[in-house]
């Protein structure tokens, strides 16, 4: 079983704003660290953060919301990276009055004048040109949006998929998703994002099946396929209402880099329900909706053992760490699952654990072990 500590944040019903502030601010710090580690050879690294649903910067209870928390992280960074010199931020909101209020709130921050890169408001046309230039220079960028929200949000998503390859953090409700897909015939942006053929298949499926959960799953799968076909690594987290068989939100993350994907997966472990065998379901409040029989899970330690047993041509003489980093992408499996799987394969005589220094067999399997298939 996994030993990851779980977080009870989703035990209560949460708004989009609450979920975003809880998850995105933590992920932003992890994302910056992981991307900058890959830019260690650059003398002047640069990153960008875009929030297209920034709000006013303050929650209803008066506490700082995502934009302020992001800037707090940038200005107050204490690790080896000076984020104040590195990160440019761009904000917008569907409602221009809200964006104007956000600008005022950000300018009133006590450290505002000390920010090397002042926050840029994208509802001003000149500022969008600045963003386009930055993205054209392939600056690593984390983009937050609702893919089924207002047109500007969809335009930026479409351009990211086609040209820019940004890391995209998406949060949306099934209701918004259904409305956008159902109205896609009159929405050129949705047609461009999904494609006519995919939208036609969704319509055919929804005409054939009346079950709401089946329809929802099919649309979500189809949406994920858009990114996978463009070689994105995708992560998906389903949030259901507490004690109800009803989806509240979906969190989607799409990236072309393994490190950004892995950071998201690691962050969401603490919020996830788990199967009996320790494989995370990557969803909150969903375990009661699923079968209790482990064999019916798509991902299980049993299935992982069987899959790895057949992968000698791929993984022979690689370290367990290397195998894990390659194999876990786009699955629900985590580090402890691989440890358990190879322990079992060693007991069954399928593999041997080899010391990477002495090249002698080891009694136990560790992540530094070389896995030798027999």
Please report, for the chain, the start and end positions of each structural domain, with discontinuous segments joined by +.
Answer: 9-289, 298-373
CB-based burial of residue 207 (10 Å sphere; 0-12 exposed, 13-18 middle, 19+ buried)? Answer: exposed
Segment 327-347 mean pLDDT = 96
CA–CA distance, 300 with 298 (Å, rounded to integer) = 7
- The whole-number pLDDT of residue 40 equals 63
Closest CA to 167 of 34, 22, 325: 34
Q: Which residue has better confidence, 135 or 237?
A: 237
pLDDT digits (tens, 9 = 90+) for 253-288: 999 999 999 999 999 999 999 999 999 999 999 976
C-alpha neighbours within 13 Å on the C-beta side of residue 209: 14
Tokens of 14: 């949460």
- The whole-number pLDDT of residue 123 equals 73
Q: What's 9-289's CATH class?
A: alpha beta
Give CB contacts under 8 A, 24+ apart, made by 356-360.
356/319
Closest CA to 57 of 13, 108, 124: 108
What share of residues in the chain are helix, strand, coil (percent, to 5)?
50, 15, 35
CB-based burial of residue 104 (10 Å sphere; 0-12 exposed, 13-18 middle, 19+ buried)? Answer: exposed
With contact defined as beta carbons under 8 Å apart, do 235 and 261 qualify?
A: yes
Query: How much is the pTM?
Result: 0.91
- Percentage of the residues of the chain whose pLDDT score is greater than 90: 75
CB-based burial of residue 182 (10 Å sphere; 0-12 exposed, 13-18 middle, 19+ buried)? Answer: middle
pLDDT digits (tens, 9 = 90+) for 78-122: 677 899 999 999 999 999 899 999 999 999 999 999 999 999 998
Average pLDDT in the chain? 90
Find where tokens 């190879």 sit.
342
Residue partners of 341: CB distance under 8 A and separation at least 6: 301, 304, 305, 308
pLDDT digits (tens, 9 = 90+) for 207-219: 999 999 999 999 9
CA–CA distance, 278 with 290 (Å, rounded to integer) = 15
C-alpha neighbours within 13 Å on the C-beta side of residue 279: 21
């Amino acid at each position: 079983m996994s030993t990851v500590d779980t977080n009870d944040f989703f035990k209560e019903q949460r708004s989009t704003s609450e979920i975003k502030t809880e998850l995105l601010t933590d992920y932003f710090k992890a994302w910056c660290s992981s991307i900058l580690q890959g830019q260690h050879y650059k003398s002047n690294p640069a990153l960008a953060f875009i929030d297209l649903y920034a709000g006013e910067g303050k929650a209803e209870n008066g506490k700082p919301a995502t934009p302020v928390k992001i800037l707090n992280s940038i200005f107050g960074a204490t690790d080896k990276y000076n984020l104040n010199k590195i990160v440019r931020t761009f904000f917008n909101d569907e409602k221009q009055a809200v964006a104007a209020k956000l600008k005022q709130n950000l300018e009133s921050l006590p450290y505002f004048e000390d920010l090397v890169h002042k926050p840029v408001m994208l509802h001003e046309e000149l500022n969008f040109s600045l963003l386009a230039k930055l993205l054209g220079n392939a600056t690593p960028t984390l983009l937050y949006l609702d893919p089924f929200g207002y047109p500007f949000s969809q335009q930026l998503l479409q351009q990211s998929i086609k040209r820019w390859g940004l890391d995209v953090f998406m949060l949306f409700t099934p209701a918004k998703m259904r409305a956008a897909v159902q109205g896609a015939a009159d929405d050129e942006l949705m047609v461009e994002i999904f494609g006519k053929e995919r939208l036609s298949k969704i319509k055919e499926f929804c005409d054939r099946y009346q079950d709401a959960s089946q329809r929802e799953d099919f649309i979500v799968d189809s949406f994920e396929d858009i990114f996978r076909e463009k070689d994105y690594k995708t992560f998906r987290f389903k949030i259901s209402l507490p004690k109800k068989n009803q989806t509240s939100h979906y969190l989607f993350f799409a990236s072309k880099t393994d490190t950004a994907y892995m950071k998201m997966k690691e962050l969401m472990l603490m919020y996830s329900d788990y199967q009996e065998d320790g494989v995370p379901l990557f969803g909150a409040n969903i375990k009661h909706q699923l079968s209790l029989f482990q064999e019916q899970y798509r991902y299980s330690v049993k299935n992982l053992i069987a899959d790895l047993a057949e992968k000698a041509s791929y993984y022979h003489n690689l370290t367990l760490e290397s195998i894990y980093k390659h194999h876990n992408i786009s699955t629900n499996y985590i580090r402890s699952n691989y440890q358990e799987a190879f322990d079992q394969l060693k007991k069954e005589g399928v593999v041997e654990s080899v010391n990477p220094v002495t090249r002698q067999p080891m009694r136990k399997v560790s992540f530094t072990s070389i896995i030798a298939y027999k």
